[in-house]
C-alpha cells in the first residue's frame, strides 16, 4: 500500500551485459568475516527498457547451505514505490543496520536455504532509475520484470535450472500474481527461461474490492471501533463497492474507499496501521528507517554495490505515484488461478495484527477465487501451524494453494516474527505444509 560478492556494472552501457567483481568490503561489515553469513553476493543493474534508460537494481545473497542446488527467491517490496532493500535491511536479509551504521547479523535471514535477491522495481524505486517514472500498472510491471528475469539468468546462468520462487509483500499482492501469471503465459508456448515453482505473498493488497470491505469487520473484532463507527464504515464501503463495480477507478472512488480505514485511525489516534499493538512513529511509514537510509546513501556503500553516486536512496519514493488510483483499485486475484493451473505452488500468508492489508481481507479474497479446488479449499478448517513446539499460526492447504495466518505479526511478518517467518518460507520451498 502507498503510505507512503559479485556485482554487475550494467549501468555503464545500455545493454544487459555486465562486468563482475567480488566485493568484500561492505562498509562496517567486519563482523561477518569468516561466518556463515559471509556468502557470495551479487549486485548491479539489468536494463529493461532502453527507451527510458530503465535500470532495475538487484542485490543477491547466495544460499548459506548449498547454492548450487538450493532454490532462488526474488523478493519484491510493495508501496508501490518502496525499495526491496528496505526489506533486506529491516525484515529478512542477512543483516540489519544499527544507529552507528554498523551491520548487525540476522540469524533468520531468508538465504539460509535459498539464494535470495531483493529487487527494486519499478524503475525509479530505491536504487533503480530511469529517465522518468513511466510505469503505471501491472501490464508494464510484468513486461519489464520478465525482461529483468531474462537478463538476470543470462547474466547468472548457474542459477537458471534451479527452482525459482517469486515473493513479495503488501503491494506485492499486485506485483507477484501479475508477474507470476505472465511468466506462466510466456513459458507455455516458448523457451523455458526460468524454472518457476511458485510464489508467495505476505499481507498482500490483492483484491481491493473485497479487502476494503473487511476493514470494518477486522476493526470491530479487535475492539478498535464501536457499533456506531462500524455502521458508518459499512455504509461507506457500500458506496465504495458501488463505484468500483461501476468501473469508476477514479480519484473520487479512491478517496471514498480509502476513507473506510480512516474511521479506525480517527477512533485510535496514533495507532500503527501496520501493527495494531504498537504506535505509528514516525508517520507515515510508522517505523524509523533513518539508519538504513543513511547506510544506503553512504558513498562507500553505493560504490561497493555499483550504484551511481547521483542516486539518492529513499525507502519509498515517487515511482509509485502513477499507480494511483487506477492500478491500486484493480484486483489481481484472477491471476492466482492462472498460476495454480500452471502447476505453481501459491502461498498467501498474513500477520494477524496488520490493519491495512488485514487477514480478514486475505481470507475473503481467497475464498472468492474460481478454480477447480475452490470448494474443497473453502470447506477446509484451519489447522495449527507449529514452529519449535509452539503454535505460530494457523493454515490450510489444498492441492497447490496454501493460506497461513501468523500469530503476533503485523504487516511485515519477517520483522515481527523472524524465526517463524524463516520456518514459513523454508517449509514452502521445501516439502510444504
Rounded mean pLDDT for each run of 10 residues along the chain, 433 residues in total = 35 37 72 82 93 94 96 97 97 96 95 98 95 93 96 95 98 98 92 94 98 98 98 97 94 96 97 97 94 97 93 93 94 97 97 98 98 98 97 98 98 98 98 88
In the block, cell 477507478 appears at 249
> How far apart (Å, rounded) are the C-alpha atoms in residues 314 and 293?
7
- Name, in order, each residue with C-beta under 8 angstroms of 285's C-beta and a sequence gap of 6 or more: 3, 4, 315, 316
Distances (CA, A) of 421 to 97, 268, 349, 408: 20, 28, 10, 11
C-beta atoms surrounding 150 within 10 Å: 17
> How far apart (Å, rounded) are the C-alpha atoms in residues 420 and 392?
7
Domains and CATH numbers, the chain: 6-209+290-429 (3.40.50.1820), 212-267 (no CATH)
- Least Cα distance to 127 among 241, 347, 298, 381 occurs for 298
- What stretches of 1-136 adopt beta strand conformation (E)? 6-8, 20-22, 41-49, 54-61, 72-76, 95-97, 103-105, 115-120
Predicted pLDDT of residue 14: 34
Enumerate the β-bridge partners of residue 73: 116, 165
- What stretches of 121-222 adopt beta strand conformation (E)? 163-169, 195-202
Predicted pLDDT of residue 9: 32
Contact 46, 16 (CB under 8 A): yes
Predicted pLDDT of residue 1: 40
Contact 367, 378 (CB under 8 A): yes
Catalytic option among 54, 354, 415, 416: 354
Contact 128, 110 (CB under 8 A): no
- DSSP letter for 90, please: I
pTM: 0.94
C-beta atoms surrounding 310 within 10 Å: 7
Predicted pLDDT of residue 15: 37
Instruction: For residue 411, indicate whether it is catalytic.
Output: yes
Predicted pLDDT of residue 24: 63
Predicted pLDDT of residue 2: 39
Catalytic option among 170, 180, 331, 350: 170
- Least Cα distance to 194 among 246, 223, 233, 152 occurs for 152
> How far apart (Å, rounded) are the C-alpha atoms in residues 383 and 33?
42
> How far apart (Å, rounded) are the C-alpha atoms in residues 295 and 300?
9
Contact 84, 120 (CB under 8 A): yes
> How far apart (Å, rounded) are the C-alpha atoms in residues 221 and 230?
10
> How far apart (Å, rounded) are the C-alpha atoms in residues 119 and 227?
43
Contact 42, 59 (CB under 8 A): yes
> How far apart (Å, rounded) are the C-alpha atoms in residues 201 and 397?
15
Catalytic option among 54, 411, 415, 416: 411
- Name, in order, each residue with C-beta under 8 angstroms of 313's C-beta and a sequence gap of 6 or more: 83, 85, 126, 127, 293, 296, 297, 307
In the block, cell 481467497 appears at 366
Amino acid at each position: 500500500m502507498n503510505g507512503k560478492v559479485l556485482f554487475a556494472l550494467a549501468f555503464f552501457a545500455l545493454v544487459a551485459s555486465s562486468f563482475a567483481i567480488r566485493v568484500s568490503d561492505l562498509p562496517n561489515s567486519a563482523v561477518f568475516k569468516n561466518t556463515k553469513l559471509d556468502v557470495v553476493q551479487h549486485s548491479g543493474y539489468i536494463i529493461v527498457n532502453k527507451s527510458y534508460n530503465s535500470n532495475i537494481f538487484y542485490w543477491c545473497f547466495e544460499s548459506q547451505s548449498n547454492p548450487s542446488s538450493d532454490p532462488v527467491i526474488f523478493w519484491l517490496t510493495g508501496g508501490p514505490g518502496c525499495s526491496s532493500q528496505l526489506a533486506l535491511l529491516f525484515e529478512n536479509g542477512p543483516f540489519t543496520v544499527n544507529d552507528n551504521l554498523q551491520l548487525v547479523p540476522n540469524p533468520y535471514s531468508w538465504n539460509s536455504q535459498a539464494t535470495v535477491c531483493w529487487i527494486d522495481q519499478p524503475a525509479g524505486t530505491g536504487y533503480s532509475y530511469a529517465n522518468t517514472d513511466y510505469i503505471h500498472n501491472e501490464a508494464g510491471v510484468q513486461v519489464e520484470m520478465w525482461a529483468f528475469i531474462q537478463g538476470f539468468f543470462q547474466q547468472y546462468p548457474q542459477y537458471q535450472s534451479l527452482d525459482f520462487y517469486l515473493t513479495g509483500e503488501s503491494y506485492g499482492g499486485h506485483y507477484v500474481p501479475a508477474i507470476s501469471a505472465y511468466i506462466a503465459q510466456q513459458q507455455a508456448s516458448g523457451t523455458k527461461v526460468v524454472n518457476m515453482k511458485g510464489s508467495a505473498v505476505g499481507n498482500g493488497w490483492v483484491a481491493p474490492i473485497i479487502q476494503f470491505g473487511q476493514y470494518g469487520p477486522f476493526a470491530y473484532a479487535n475492539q478498535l471501533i464501536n457499533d456506531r463507527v462500524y455502521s458508518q464504515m459499512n455504509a461507506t464501503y457500500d458506496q465504495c463497492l458501488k463505484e468500483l463495480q461501476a468501473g469508476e477507478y477514479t480519484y473520487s472512488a479512491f478517496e471514498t474507499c480509502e476513507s473506510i480505514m480512516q474511521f479506525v485511525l480517527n477512533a485510535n489516534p496514533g495507532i500503527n496501521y501496520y501493527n495494531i499493538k504498537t504506535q505509528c512513529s514516525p508517520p507515515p511509514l510508522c517505523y524509523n528507517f533513518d539508519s538504513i537510509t543513511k547506510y544506503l546513501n553512504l558513498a562507500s556503500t553505493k560504490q561497493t554495490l555499483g550504484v551511481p553516486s547521483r542516486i539518492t536512496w529513499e525507502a519509498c519514493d515517487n515511482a509509485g505515484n502513477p499507480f494511483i488510483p487506477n492500478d491500486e483499485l484493480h484486483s489481481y486475484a484472477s491471476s492466482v488461478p492462472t498460476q495454480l493451473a500452471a502447476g505453481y505452488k501459491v502461498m498467501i500468508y498474513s500477520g494477524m495484527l496488520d490493519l491495512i492489508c488485514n487477514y480478514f481481507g486475505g481470507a475473503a479474497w481467497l475464498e472468492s477465487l474460481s478454480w477447480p479446488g475452490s470448494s474443497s479449499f473453502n470447506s477446509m478448517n484451519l489447522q495449527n501451524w507449529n514452529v519449535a513446539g509452539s503454535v505460530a499460526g494457523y493454515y490450510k492447504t489444498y492441492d497447490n494453494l496454501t493460506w497461513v495466518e501468523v500469530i503476533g505479526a503485523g504487516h511485515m511478518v519477517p520483522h515481527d516474527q523472524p524465526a517463524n517467518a524463516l520456518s514459513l518460507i523454508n517449509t514452502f520451498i521445501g516439502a510444504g505444509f
